[in-house]
Amino acid sequence: MRTTGTVIFDLDGTLHCTEKALVPAIRMAMADLGFPPASAEVINALYGEPLEVFSRVLLSDEGKYHADFQRSIRKHQRTTLPRSGALYPGTLDMLEELRIMGMILAVCSNAGLDYIGLVTRSLGIIDLFRFLVGRDGQASKADRVAGIIEDSGTPFNVMVGDRYHDIQAAAENGIPSIGCLYGYGGEGEMADSDRQVASPPEIPKVVRELLMGTARSAGATPAP
C-alpha cells in the first residue's frame, strides 16, 4: 500500500471517550487518599493536561500526594478501562478508512506511555498505530509531534485533537490541525484549528481535503 501521509491523534477526547473509565478511576483514587470525589464536570475539564495538573486541581496538594494519587489512578484504571472504556462512535471505522487511504497512524498524548498502551490495548486499536508517544520525558507536545514527523518521513502530516495543546503543537510544526468539537476542549478552544469536526466519521474526508490542498500547493497530483 502506498503511504500518503501521517495522521497524529491525541488520545483522550479524540479517540477515547475518557470519562466512561477515568471518572470512576479518579474518584476511587481520591477516596483512597481521603478526599471527597470531584464532579465529573471538573474531572472532564482536565483531560489533556499532564497528571500533575489533575493532582494540583483535584487535591490542592502542591505535589504532596501526587505520586500516591498517580499510583492509585493506575491501579483502578486497570479495572475500569477493560470494563467501561469506550471509543467514540465511528472511531474504529474512521481509523480503518485512514489506513486504506495509505495514512500512517500515530498517537501523541500528554499521558504516559503505560496509559496509552493500556487504553489502546483495552479498546482493541493498538495494532492500528505505528507510533505511540507519551509524556514520559520533559519534551513538549510540539517536540514530540516533531519527532513523529521526522520518524514517519511523510511529506503530509496532520494533527487531530480536542485541546489547545494539540492545536499549538500543530502550529509550531507548521502542519494543519483538525479540532474535535466533540471532545473536552472549552468553548472556543478549537477556534485556531485549520478545520473542525463534530464526530470521528468526518475526519477521513477532512484529511483527504487537506491532503489534496497540500498537493495542489506543491504542484503535485494528489493520490485518489
Q: In percent, how much of the chain has pLDDT > 90?
A: 81
Class of domain 5-17+86-217 (CATH, top level): alpha beta
pLDDT at 50: 81
* Neighbour count for residue 84 (Cβ, 10 Å): 17
Domain with CATH 1.10.150.240 in the chain: 19-84
pLDDT at 215: 65
- For residue 178, list its beta bridge partners: 160, 195
Q: If you write DSSP's letter for every residue of 160-205 in order, what string do you get? A: EESSHHHHHHHHHTT--EEEETTSS--TTTTTTSSEEESSGGGHHH
Q: pTM, whole model, 2 decimals?
A: 0.89
pLDDT in tens, 163-204: 999 999 999 999 999 999 999 998 899 999 999 999 999 999
Domain with CATH 3.40.50.1000 in the chain: 5-17+86-217
DSSP-derived 3-state class of residue 117: helix
pLDDT at 216: 67
Q: Which residues are CB-neighbours of 121 under 8 A, at least 6 positions away?
A: none
Task: List the chain residues with pLDDT less than 50.
Answer: 222-223
Phi, psi of 174 (to 5 degrees): 70, 30
| Candidates 1.10.150.240, 3.10.180.10, 1.10.645.10, 3.40.50.720; CATH matching 19-84 | 1.10.150.240
In whole angstroms, what is the distance from residue 21 CA to residue 16 CA? 10
